[in-house]
A and B are shown apart, each in its own frame.
Chain A
Amino acid sequence: MSNFNSADIAAFKDVWVFCEQREGKLMPTDFELISKGRDLADELGVNLCGLLLGGEGIESAAKELGGYGADKVLVCESPLLAVYNTDAYAKVICDVIEDLKPEAFLIGATNIGRDLAPRCAARLHTGLCADCTHLDIDVANYIQFLRESSTLDVDSQKWDMEDRNLKMTRPAFGGHLMATIICPRFRPCMATVRPGVMKKNAFDQAKADACEIVKPAFELSESDLNTEVVEVVKAAKKLVDLIGADYIVSVGRGISKDVEGGIKLAEELADVLGGVVGGSRATIDSGWLSADHQVGQTGKTVHPKVYIALGISGAIQHKAGMQDSECIIAVNKNDTAPIFEIADYGICGDLFKVTPLLIEAIKAAKAAK
């Protein structure tokens, strides 16, 4: 049992990125991971390859990945790969990896990536680090990262500057701790990467044109599939999933002078961020929002990446439901409102004036990324 192909570390090279597609369209995480993968491949002095699985004709989407930094895209086409299926994808990916041996393999931590990656890592007998928010090869870069993002005293520690392991950093215990994970004895070293964290490179048409398309041989038949996807349904209406939301824009009593207008502004801001609308108890008790929107002791406890409180004073019962949010932004007319005591960023002003400006500013900032 101790002889795994994955332990022959020297046989593995190149950085690969799994490029997820839904309905034939590449996902935004693909470009983020290709961009990050480019840095890692440069640090290692190896090629960066995208791995794209899909139905007949998916090849036409591949070149775009070159524009963000892929030297090569490995394209696997089959009608059985058009829609994601764990068995089909895991088989093709593991077979191609065992054949071509990449040393690092990045996968977006989407609901599909998080289904696929552990299955593959278990089959390949290698390590997998989930939901990474930071990746390094070069030790000097890693030390610099620790200087900026940790309380560790890096100067008092011994470092092996020649270390070429992929250093995968991720939050644990609800973000109370950070851990850097390595996979020193097996290859490929696998990581799923949290969507939206890695910065996307600028698109370069010349690089896209130069990107090489390779079609590796693989075998796949109906009998390899043990599950059947009956249908794929896109959510027609935004469901209010406060618990799972990364961005929440909540409104409070401050919208009372124009309830409809206030809610509409919150919805617009939530749409720009890709989030949902919540409300304080006052907004639910007054019947302005339905009960599934309520944040607080008697509503839902949330810890999104960003919680924006519009016209919420910050009663204890509300704070109890949202104070563990990673970043809290408060807009309130009253500069002594308790919400400002726990807000990372506060703006003292009229939410009806500030919110439209904030929507424009965030749109502009996102467009510039």
Chain B
Amino acid sequence: MKIIVCVKQVPDTSGKVAVNPDGTLNRASMQTITNPDDMNAVEAALKLKDATGCKVMVVTMGPPPAAGMLRELMAMGADEAVLVSAREFGGSDTYATSQILAAAISTIGVEDDDIVMCGRQAIDGDTAQVGPQIAEKLHLPQVTYAADIQKDGDTITVKRMLEDGYMTIKVKTPCLITCIKELNNPRYMSIGGIYATYNKPLETFDYEKLKDHPLIDATTIGLKGSPTNIFKSFTPPQKGAGMMLEGADKATCEKLADILAKKHII
């Protein structure tokens, strides 16, 4: 049994975000972190490893520096890592990304007792699309928004959150689960883990390695293979200086409610 966790290195959007004059993001000004929901997926996998002794592999698609993130995740306790990285993969939208990651995961091999885990969504795009799309490409059942995961033999019971409650869902391995913050608190790297991480295997899957996989095709990967394109990108108008409303009576409150309604804020 093994657990394959898909992770992404993202700019930390919770800090200051600088935008270039042309409306693109000044990535150089931003720190990179492991996507927060992905950390919950890694922790969920490590908890299952603690309980069952299974293997945990972390997989990411990204530029070569993303290897540093994979080393950190192995210092937390993951056993092996795969970096999927090639110029041909650049510019992929969620469809093309899931196509490539699915090819990488099926190259690693999904056995009957394996689980694939992802974070619910990445904070740079907030799409929550890649997990379900990988599941579709690998013909795996999916359970998203997991807030609790219990394993009993080949049956996994997941508490799947809804806006107004939750569903309890049973699914058999192999399957794909996307994880949310409520699931756990990710552990820190251990000193021993940091020592061990550089002796753990980190393999790079480049275009050569994946090009003969049936999912990989010039029409389905990279910028050209992506069904969606960016038509325009722009910055919203700068936040104006705050507005002190006059008075503190009924009319003031009605005026505020009216502004909020007009701006679709309420």
Q: Which residues of A are interface residues toward B (Cβ below 8 A)?
A: 1-2, 22, 83-84, 86-87, 90, 110-112, 114-115, 117-119, 121-123, 125-131, 146, 149-152, 165, 167, 171-186, 196-197, 199, 226-235, 241, 243-244, 273, 301, 303, 305-306, 324, 326-329, 331, 335, 340-350, 353-354, 357-358, 360-362, 364-366, 368-369
Contact = CB atoms under 8 A, between A and B. Distances in A.
Nearest to A129: B228
A180 B230 contact: yes
9 contacts: A152-B232, A173-B11, A174-B14, A176-B19, A226-B172, A228-B171, A324-B14, A347-B248, A369-B261
Contacts of B133: 118-119, 121-122
Contacts of B19: 176-177
B256 A361 contact: yes
A175 B11 CA distance: 13
Nearest to B143: A227
Contacts of A231: 167-168
B256 A366 contact: no
Contact of B219 (A2, A180, A348): A2
Contacts, number: 272
A326 B93 CA distance: 27
Interface stretch (B56-64, B76-84, B184-192, B235-243): B235-243
Interface in B226-266: 226-239, 242-245, 247-250, 252-254, 256-261, 263-266
Given A118-B127, A177-B233, A182-B231, 4 more contacts: A180-B233, A183-B227, A305-B265, A340-B244
A174 B167 contact: no
Given A1-B220, A125-B227, A361 B254 contact: yes
B65 interface: no
Given A128-B95, A345-B242, A227 B257 contact: no
Interface in B150-183: 157, 161-172, 175, 181-182
B231 A180 contact: yes
A179 B232 contact: yes
B17 interface: yes
**Which one of A181, A186, A301, A346 has the greatest number of beta carbons of chain B within 10 Å?**
A181
B257 A365 contact: yes
A126 B227 CA distance: 6
A361 B136 contact: no
**Chain B contact residues, majority secondary structure:** mixed
B106 interface: no
Nearest to A364: B257
B260 A306 contact: yes
Given A177-B233, A234-B164, A365-B260, A229 B169 contact: yes
A126 B137 CA distance: 13
Contacts of A358: 253, 256-257
B233 A178 contact: yes
B236 A149 contact: yes
Contact of A345 (B157, B234, B256): B256
Contact of A172 (B125, B144, B220, B232): B125
B31 interface: no
Given A131-B127, A179-B233, A234-B164, A196 B264 contact: yes
A130 B253 contact: no
A177 B25 contact: yes
A152 B124 contact: no
A221 to B, nearest CB: 16
Contacts of B265: 305-306, 326-327
Interface in B196-240: 214, 217, 219-220, 226-239
Interface in B85-101: 93-95, 98
B135 interface: yes
A226 B161 CA distance: 19
B164 A306 contact: no
B123 interface: yes
A167 B257 contact: no
B17 A176 contact: yes
A178 B162 contact: no
B266 A273 contact: yes
Contacts of A305: 265
B141 A226 contact: yes
Nearest to A369: B261
B128 interface: yes
A111 B162 contact: yes
A152 B142 contact: no
Contacts of B249: 357
Contact of B126 (A131, A234, A347): A131
Q: Which 3 pairs, one residue from A and one from B, show the smallest C-beta to C-beta distance?
A: A349-B248, A127-B227, A226-B141
A227 B233 contact: no
Contacts of A151: 23, 234-238
Given A231-B167, A340-B242, A118 B14 contact: no
A158 B188 CA distance: 52
Contacts of A235: 164-166
Contacts of A1: 214, 217, 219-220
A263 B120 CA distance: 33
A174 B168 contact: no
Contacts of B13: 173-174, 176
A364 B261 CA distance: 10
A113 to B, nearest CB: 10
A231 B169 CA distance: 7
B209 to A, nearest CB: 19
**Which one of B228, B234, B236 has the greatest number of beta carbons of chain A within 10 Å?**
B228
